[in-house]
């Protein structure tokens, strides 16, 4: 799980031999469609029972970091470290390179529920020396760079169902500080406001369908806001006595009440009370990297470097699905 920490700090993980080096997983609203990004990309259209590899776009090796799916699964997006952003408008049947510039690594992509509005962030853009955000309002056909705070490295961006309310966690690329920052936009990314947050190194962020409920994981604790960052509640680490154990990746249901979390203890946790209390949903000797869930929290997905675990009953039981690369 230490790879997760490095990725969160804008250090791209290296390829792992004999695995897919999974870097992102996303689900449609029902969980029927699952998109997986890594050294190769995979799609499931049967709630994670089987995964089919998407044909590589180029003969050379690429590493994929960002991915997103809209509510129905029709519109999908992938972010590469070399060839930019790719878009599918037909449930992953075909893909086209978008008009976005091919910058270093599109680490995070968020989409509205219908897929018309998308935002993508990269961690470090070589020409400018800091991260960049690009926005689309036409299902990923065209992209525009809007004004965003400079000298920041953007680790993760999330969106409400409309694409109007956005939130991003970042760190300074100018000072080299790893202290987390939270940026909010209430106008589709047109302007951004840095919000006071607890002093910590942020690892992941999740939001509900309204964009009001925000859950952030840090190296010291977890933080929950029910009023879009105006007030923060600090939630103790799951194992307070162990200084190096905490959540690395979180995702939330449409209501925000149910939360899926991956830790560096090889366990998968779920919460049904907005992250106040947690229970172990799955315990397997694997290093879990990324997770996602359906809007109703029935379908849960967690990935290791090379494999996938899927639950179709809100975490009661899990199927371990090896990927064939």
From the number of C-beta atoms within 10 Å of its C-beta (0-12, 13-18, 19+), residue 91 rates as middle
Is the separation of the CB atoms in 253 and 213 below 8 Å? no
The dihedral sign for the CA sequence 56, 292, 183, 146:
positive
pLDDT at position 157, please? Answer: 94
Is the separation of the CB atoms in 131 and 84 below 8 Å? no
The encoded tokens of residue 219 equal: 């190296």
Q: How far is CA 240 from the centre of its chain?
A: 25
pLDDT at position 3, please? Answer: 27
Show the low-confidence residues of the chain (pLDDT under 50).
Answer: 1-9, 11-18
- C-alpha–C-alpha distance, residues 54 and 44, integer Å: 10
Q: Helices (H), strands (E): how many in the chain?
A: 1, 28
Is the separation of the CB atoms in 85 and 140 below 8 Å? yes
pLDDT at position 184, please? Answer: 96
pLDDT at position 277, please? Answer: 84
Note the pTM of the prediction, 2 decimals: 0.90
From the number of C-beta atoms within 10 Å of its C-beta (0-12, 13-18, 19+), residue 317 rates as exposed
Which distant-in-sequence residues (6+ apart) come within 8 Å of 272 by Cβ?
257, 258
pLDDT at position 225, please? Answer: 95
- C-alpha–C-alpha distance, residues 274 and 256, integer Å: 6
From the number of C-beta atoms within 10 Å of its C-beta (0-12, 13-18, 19+), residue 117 rates as buried
pLDDT at position 47, please? Answer: 97
């Amino acid at each position: 799980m230490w790879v997760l920490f490095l990725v969160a700090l804008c250090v791209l993980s290296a390829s792992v031999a004999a695995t897919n080096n999974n870097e992102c997983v996303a689900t449609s609203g029902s969980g029927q469609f699952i998109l997986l990004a890594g050294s190769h990309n995979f799609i499931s259209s049967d709630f994670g029972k089987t995964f089919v590899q998407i044909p590589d776009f180029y003969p050379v090796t690429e590493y994929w970091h960002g991915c997103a799916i809209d509510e129905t699964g029709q519109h999908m997006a992938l972010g590469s470290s070399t060839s930019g952003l790719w878009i599918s408008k037909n449930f992953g049947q075909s893909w086209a390179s978008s008009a976005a510039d091919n910058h270093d690594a599109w680490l995070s992509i968020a989409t509205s529920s219908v897929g018309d509005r998308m935002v993508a962030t990269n961690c470090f853009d070589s020409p400018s020396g800091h991260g960049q955000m690009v926005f689309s309002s036409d299902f990923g056909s065209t992209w525009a760079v809007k004004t965003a705070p400079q000298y920041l490295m953007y680790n993760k961006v999330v969106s409400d169902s409309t694409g109007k309310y956005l939130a991003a966690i970042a760190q300074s690329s100018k000072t080299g500080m790893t202290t987390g920052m939270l940026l909010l936009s209430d106008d589709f990314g047109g302007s951004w406001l840095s919000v006071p947050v607890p002093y910590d190194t942020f690892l992941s962020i999740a939001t509900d369908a309204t964009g009001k409920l925000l859950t952030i994981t840090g190296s010291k604790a977890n933080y929950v806001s029910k009023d879009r960052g105006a007030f923060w509640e600090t939630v103790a680490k799951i194992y307070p006595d162990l200084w190096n154990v905490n959540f690395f990746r979180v995702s939330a249901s449409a209501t925000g009440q149910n939360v899926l979390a991956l830790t560096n203890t090889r366990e998968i946790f779920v919460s049904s009370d907005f992250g106040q209390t947690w229970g172990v949903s799955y315990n397997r000797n694997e290093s879990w990297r990324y997770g996602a869930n359906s809007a109703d929290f029935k379908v849960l997905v967690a990935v290791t470097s090379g494999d996938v675990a899927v639950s179709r009953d809100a975490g009661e039981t899990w199927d371990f699905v090896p990927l064939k690369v």
